[in-house]
Amino acid sequence: MDALSTVLGLLRLKGCVYFVHDFCTPWGMQMDDGPFAPFHAVVRGQCRMSVDGQDYRLSAGDVVMFPKGRGHALDDGEGRATVPGMNVVTAHADGRPLFQTGEDGVRLLCGHFELDRDIRHPVLDEIPAVIHAKGLAAHEPGWLDTVMGVLVRETDSARPGATVIVERLAEILFVQTLRAWLDDQQPPVGFLAAARDPRLARALQVIHQQIDQDLSLQDVARAAGMSRSTLAHRFHATVGTTPMRYQTMWRMLKAREHLRHAGATAAEAAARVGYASEAAFSRAFKKHFQESPGAFRRSQATDRA
């Protein structure tokens, strides 16, 4: 599995679609800041999006998402009074959708993504607050039309398994939108830049996949096809840390996952992330998260209760 896929798996990405809805002019809705990552895909027509005082023109094939839950407004471009977004969602769920009378306007697919924001991986800092993928269909010809078609059919479908299909396709939409943004922006530094670099991607991949192995810098350099000095310099210049420090961070994040979601003991988590000594693991975990593995497990048990 590639480096970005393993990180997205750690973030426990989950997609949810609210509706596929035709908005007739005049219309406008306002979404407040929130814990989820809203997204909108323009299936047909055009509209305006406003966020942080900046306006964006959205056209058919565009997808916009807000990974940090930033509030924003959507309207027909005429400065309309807006309705709270949750009112629009509730009205649609109750079978009395809003903005159904007036001139033919725009068809939007709207929903949100859930991410584990407690994961302290640099990718969360690197993903911008607003991602506008223009003409996503141009990046993957035929793909968006196919996915949108299935999402439109399944969102309000009563067929068995429709919810699972919609959730999985929404997650794919997140990844494709992120990939399109990466293709357009091509960030020069950071984890996402390293994930696009073939040799650094191999270094990340071996660190992610061989987490239970006591890898040395030489092992990682060999997998990347570089000398130790070249890897160390290039990795630090791009990712902002050394390969071995990144390895420790990744081990701690995976250990946290084992403790939180798999019910592992501290000793089991230590073994799964390559620590022969539970004491050494506990010290590393406490240094990274400012609490011991035992305290973390107890806090998670309390939250679940």
Structural domains present in the chain: 3-185 (2.60.120.10), 193-304 (1.10.10.60)
pLDDT at 244: 95
Going by pLDDT thresholds of 50, 70 and 90, the confidence category of residue 116 is: confident
What mean pLDDT is reported for the chain?
Answer: 88
pTM of the model: 0.84
List strand residue ranges (DSSP E) for the chain, in order: 14-25, 28-31, 37-44, 46-51, 54-59, 63-65, 72-75, 83-84, 103-114, 131-133
pLDDT tens-digit series, residues 241-273: 999 999 999 999 999 999 988 788 999 999 999
User: Could you give the percent of the chain with pLDDT greater than 70?
Assistant: 95
Q: Are 266 and 278 in contact (CB under 8 A)?
A: yes
Q: Tell me the C-alpha distance between 150 and 164, whole Å.
A: 12
Among residues 285, 287, 284, 187, the alpha carbon closest in space to that of 240 is found at 187
Mean pLDDT of 281-301: 89
pLDDT at 117: 80
| Burial class (CB within 10 angstroms; exposed 0-12, middle 13-18, buried 19+) of 93 | exposed
Among residues 49, 201, 164, 158, the alpha carbon closest in space to that of 110 is found at 49
- Report the SS3 class of residue 67: coil
Q: Tell me the C-alpha distance between 111 and 128, whole Å.
A: 18
pLDDT at 281: 94
Q: Are 146 and 87 in contact (CB under 8 A)?
A: no
pLDDT tens-digit series, residues 64-110: 999 999 999 999 987 778 899 999 999 988 889 899 888 878 999 99
Q: Tell me the C-alpha distance between 162 and 29, whole Å.
A: 27
Q: Tell me the C-alpha distance between 108 and 61, whole Å.
A: 10
Mean pLDDT of 170-190: 87
Among residues 72, 12, 13, 63, the alpha carbon closest in space to that of 41 is found at 63
pLDDT at 304: 58
User: Could you give the percent of the chain with pLDDT greater than 90?
Assistant: 53
Mean pLDDT of 50-61: 91
Going by pLDDT thresholds of 50, 70 and 90, the confidence category of residue 229 is: very high
How would you list the strands of the sheet with 131-133, edge to edge? 14-25, 103-114, 37-44, 63-65, 131-133
pLDDT at 17: 84
Q: Tell me the C-alpha distance between 57 and 21, whole Å.
A: 18
